[in-house]
């Protein structure tokens, strides 16, 4: 297996990025802010052009390079997983991937907010087993910036709902689910506390579901604002709802490109080929 690694700088547990005016603090962003000129090229071995049949392809939005991965219910299955909490590769996608059939994987991306113990901060369902209940508490950090939300689904029907709507309307337990926050886009509008292009910059990722039922996963290759990521989902991908997943430690495994990021992660979203 050929891996390319991303180095996002030294991480310091418990440190939080100061909150610029109009931008949410991100509890799960660990360490000091990373200047743009310190962020290394994420993938050196992968070609820039799209690879035929691959789920992930390069994109650009307002001069920021992104990777856009599409999960198609006709072609893929989605499940939730957890990175290992011990061992040489604890807290990484690489640790989870050990022994897995690479040929069956379309891509894997970090899947939501977690604590210092790598456990999910909110609702988490793996293989129809609810490991963590819905978290409606108040607190500091991006997870608690209401409205936050849940990405979930069963049998190829994938959805994103804000937490309160999820609580009111979803009765059956899904096959997978992960709670994160804030909502980037809700009912076609940006989160009310996110500027169009605020001053905070970081590697960030999120997920949205389009009207045709496809799940769109986006991870930036250079630091960008919350608002720019949200507007890419709203204006370019035309999704009505999108959910912020994480920042700074955002990670992707894209076997088609030989990309394996090594950010510190907890919950994972696994997209497998049918």
Q: What is the pLDDT of residues 42-65, one digit of tens each?
A: 333 344 556 777 999 999 999 999
CA dist., res. 22 & res. 257, Å (int): 37
Low-confidence ranges of the chain (pLDDT < 70): 1-50
pLDDT at 53: 79
pTM of the model: 0.84
Nearest of 116, 111, 113 to residue 90 by alpha carbon: 116
Alpha helix ranges (H) inside 132-215: 163-169
DSSP strand pairing (259-260 vs 183-186): unpaired
């Amino acid at each position: 297996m050929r891996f390319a690694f991303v180095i996002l700088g030294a991480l310091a547990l418990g440190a939080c990025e100061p909150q610029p005016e109009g931008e949410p603090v991100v509890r799960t962003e660990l360490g000091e802010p990373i200047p743009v000129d310190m962020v290394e090229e994420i993938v050196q071995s992968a070609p820039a052009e799209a690879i035929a049949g691959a789920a992930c392809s390069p994109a650009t939005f307002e001069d920021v390079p992104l990777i856009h991965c599409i999960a198609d219910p006709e072609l893929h299955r989605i499940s939730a997983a957890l990175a290992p909490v011990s061992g040489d590769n604890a807290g990484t996608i690489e640790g989870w991937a050990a022994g897995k059939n690479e040929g069956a994987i379309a891509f894997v991306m970090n899947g939501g907010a977690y604590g210092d113990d790598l456990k999910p901060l909110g609702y988490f369902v793996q293989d129809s087993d609810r490991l963590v209940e819905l978290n409606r508490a108040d607190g500091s950090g991006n997870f608690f910036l209401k409205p936050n939300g849940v990405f979930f689904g069963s049998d190829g029907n994938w959805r994103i709902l804000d937490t309160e709507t999820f609580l009111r309307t979803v009765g059956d337990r899904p096959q997978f689910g992960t709670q994160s926050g804030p909502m980037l886009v809700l009912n076609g509008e940006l989160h009310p506390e996110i500027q169009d292009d605020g001053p905070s910059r970081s590697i960030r990722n999120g997920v949205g579901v389009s009207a045709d039922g496809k799940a769109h996963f986006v991870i930036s290759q250079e630091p960008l604002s919350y608002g720019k990521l949200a507007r890419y989902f709203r204006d370019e991908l035309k999704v009505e709802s999108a959910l912020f997943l994480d920042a700074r430690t955002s990670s992707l495994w894209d076997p088609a490109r030989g990309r394996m990021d090594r950010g510190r992660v907890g919950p994972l979203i696994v997209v497998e080929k049918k």
